[in-house]
Structure 1
Amino acid sequence: MKHLVLGGVRSGKSAFAQEQIATCGKPVCYVATSQVWDKDMEDRVRLHKDNRPSEWQLIEEPLALASVLNSLNSPDQAVIVECFTLWMTNLLCLEDEIRLKDEKQALLKAVEEFEGDLVLVSSEVGLGIMPMNALARRFGDETGLMNQALAKLTDRVTFVAAGLPLPLKS
């Protein structure tokens, strides 16, 4: 089972995604893409850590998600990746177009080939106004295109708003 969970900031997508992966009955690996640059992000990371089971394995990887998924690829494994928008931010901030392209292609291949249970968390960023600066527009475009590609590769897609899941694909 591959499941993409989308939602806005504080929409409840993380809690929903964790509930989904926790029910699979397999060992869970939580793959975190965030980098801690300030106190607010430190607090957010701590909250996420406190809200997930302590027996889950944790891998922190801000860039090379495909390599991590490939290393965990097994029918007996469950993986949750949180989150693709932070991963995209990390890649865009490198300002390395070749690395961005390579990581995106490798990630989509790794998701397609993944044999275990996989829950992918991503923010839906395209519901607001057109951003004023080029980097913000690029981020929205890249994230929207990645979310579309992931939706095609997953069995289920759920949009979460106000803590309520809305199935988009099942």
Structure 2
Amino acid sequence: MTTPDLIFVLGGARSGKSAYAEGLAGASGRGVTYIATARGADAEFSERIAHHRARRPAHWRLVEAGAALDDALRAADGDDACVLVDCLTLWLAGLLCPPEACGPAAEDADARIDAFMAALAAARARVIVVSNEIGLGVVPLGSVTRRYVDALGRLNQRVAALAPEVTLMVAGLPLAVKTAPRPMRTA
């Protein structure tokens, strides 16, 4: 198995992770597909989405992914492509707590996560994945929230184990957590 050309960018809310990941994508010299996982649930969140849209170059391709993030990644994949997934945090929230039935995890959440991980491992594109690091605070009181924090922590660990490069954003500053040589492309 070859090592994927994968960069994993983690950080807290408003840590600069999305802007940093967008800078990496823009500097890749490849056609960029931005896979968005957010849904505008209310006016404030719609403003957040609009802020992200305004910051991205107009020529980037946008894919709004639902539960089948693996399918979106496979469709955008290619040898000369750069795919930016922003972000796993919101995607997982949608899996575990869909808007129509918030509560215990959807039956197929584990299968969806496994399918995404398989697509990530097989990707030929440079893939940049963004996620929140939410496990640094207090243990949440509610069981649904604890389940979500635990599930995101496990997902982040799986992506970090696969990624040759992991960056933690703190106050807008990138901190290298894991670095490895980039895969070499053969002509």
The match for 1:98 is 107
Query: Which of 96, 99, 116 is residue 107 of structure 1 equivalent to?
Result: 116
Instruction: Answer yes or no: is the 8 Å Cα contact 1:35–1:62 preserved in 2.
Output: no
Q: Which amino acid aligns with 1:108?
A: M
Query: Which ranges in structure 1 are unaligned for 5 or more consecutive residues?
Result: none
Partners of 1:133 and 1:96 in 2: CA distance: 14
Deviation per CA, 1:121-151, whole angstroms, max 9, x where unpaired? 0000000000010111011000000000000
Query: Which of 54, 57, 74 is residue 53 of structure 1 equivalent to?
Result: 57
Query: What TM-score, normalized by structure 1, do the two folds share?
Result: 0.97
Q: Which amino acid aligns with 1:18?
A: E
Q: CA deviation at 1:96?
A: 5.1
Instruction: Answer yes or no: is the 8 Å Cα contact 2:77–2:83 preserved in 1.
Output: no
Instruction: Answer yes or no: is the 8 Å Cα contact 1:6–1:13 preserved in 2.
Output: yes
Q: Do residues 74 (structure 1) and 78 (structure 2) align?
A: yes
Instruction: Answer yes or no: is the 8 Å Cα contact 1:26–1:76 preserved in 2.
Output: yes
Partners of 1:103 and 1:70 in 2: CA distance: 14
Query: Which of 128, 132, 150 is residue 159 of structure 2 equivalent to?
Result: 150
Deviation per CA, 1:53-79, whole angstroms, max 9, x where unpaired? 111000001311001111122111110
Query: What TM-score, normalized by structure 2, do the two folds share?
Result: 0.89
C-alpha root-mean-square deviation of aligned residues, in Å?
Answer: 0.9
Q: How many residues align?
A: 170
Q: Which amino acid aligns with 1:13?
A: K
Overall identity of the aligned pairs, in %: 36
Query: Which of 24, 27, 32 is residue 20 of structure 1 equivalent to?
Result: 24
Q: CA deviation at 1:111?
A: 0.5
